[in-house]
Homo-oligomer: A and B are copies of this chain.
Amino acid sequence: MFLVLEDRLDEKASADILDALVQLGMQAELVRSSKQVLIFVHSDVRAVPTHKFTRIPGVARVMRTAPTSPLALSDELRTVDLTSNQNSLTIGGGAAPVIMAGPCSVEGREQLLELAHKVKSAGATMLRGGAFKPRTSPYEFPGLGQDALSYLREASIATGLPVVSEVMSAEQIEIALDYVDMLQIGARNMYNYELLKEVGKAGKPVFLKRGLSATIDEFVHAVEYIMLAGNNQVVLCERGIRTFETRTRNTLDLSAVPLLKSMTGLPVIVDPSHATGKRSLIRSMSRAAIACGADGLMIETHCQPNQSISDAEQAITPDDLALISADSLALFESLKGLDETPAAAAGPQGEPRPRLVVACATPGSN
């Protein structure tokens, strides 16, 4: 990135800007091109919002070499607020972790109502459930569609829990709007830009899952599509990326949690169920997620996990969910204590804004 300096700047002023950047841990160099005086910033600053630089006195303009996402990037924490059944729920911004629980697919009315009450007792603060299911094969169970949505609404009214469910087309958005409190875009559709624009216009909060081989930057650009269509209420979800490892269904990339929060300020939820695909790993990965700052968890829950129609091997019981909810609250309280000590507030290196990512290496250089 280059900073174009104002025209009549003297040497002292230019040197001061250079100093300011070095203080921020960046490698930078003063250069004079044929037309202007520039500062060439060697560090990776894709995650640093432009106004960080334009605020520096003497800087006229920022020339980035890589695309940016002005709406998605932010150095302020942002919350997403749901109002459902006269209750409200805040996600992100330092609020207590949200626990989203429910079945992979809604399998029936009674089953869902029973489960909704149980997950609420187990500490869940939101209800999830698949109505329209993207399936690798067209012969797999596609979900109960609108019926499932009506059961979800009924369960929401009965328990007070807000509801999130996935949509895969403009038509499904239309249908789902009457039933859900938050619209989910699944991992397979993160690159479906037409759908992102549609969901951006729908006027409901959006729960956006990371694509299974999407880079952090592509994920942030997907947020930009939604925000540019008029919707700032976006919750991000890390759900594992595709790697060579076969012992887990995907590889949970927890570094994405602090990275995404520092880049966008948006709430970040972790889905350990899809990330690991293994019941026995869900509790420990939930703990890790909360410990590194996740704003909540999405966990597949089923009264009889082994009888689940889909993803049976990764669903857990409400009893297990209760342990995870308790863990999450306890860890959240512990961390609040740790973050409130004066030293901690300063962040590593005494940086005043610990959420700001200032990478010193060129990406891809290792």
What chain B residues lie within 8 Å of A320 (beta carbons)? 348-349
Cα(A280)–Cα(B362), bound, Å:
15
Cα(A29)–Cα(B327), bound, Å:
37
Residue of B whose beta carbon sits closest to that of A42: B65
In chain A, positions 264-278 with a C-beta closer than 8 Å to chain B are 275-278
Most buried by B among A212, A283, A366: A366
| Minimal beta-carbon separation of A259 from chain B (angstroms) | 6
Q: For this complex, into which size category does the number of interface residues on chain A fall?
A: 35 or more
Residue of B whose beta carbon sits closest to that of A47: B247
Question: Cβ of B217 and Cβ of A247 under 8 Å apart?
Answer: yes
Given contacts A247-B363, A338-B330, contact A254 B193 (CB under 8 A): no
In chain A, positions 315-350 with a C-beta closer than 8 Å to chain B are 316-317, 319-320, 322-323, 326-327, 330-331, 334-335, 337-338, 341, 343-344, 347-350
Question: Cβ of A338 and Cβ of B326 under 8 Å apart?
Answer: yes
Question: Cβ of A259 and Cβ of B249 under 8 Å apart?
Answer: no
Report, nearest first, the 8 A-B pairs whose CB atoms are least far apart: A364-B364, A213-B213, A291-B291, A188-B191, A313-B360, A246-B363, A288-B292, A288-B288
Residue numbers of A with Cβ under 8 A of B are: 25, 29-34, 38, 40, 42, 47, 65-69, 134-140, 168-170, 172, 188-189, 191-195, 212-213, 215-218, 221, 224-225, 228, 241-255, 257-259, 262, 275-285, 287-293, 305-306, 312-313, 316-317, 319-320, 322-323, 326-327, 330-331, 334-335, 337-338, 341, 343-344, 347-351, 354, 356-366
- With A278-B357, A287-B291 already in contact, 9 other A-B pairs whose C-beta atoms are closer than 8 Å: A30-B34, A40-B40, A138-B221, A138-B224, A189-B192, A251-B253, A255-B285, A262-B280, A285-B292
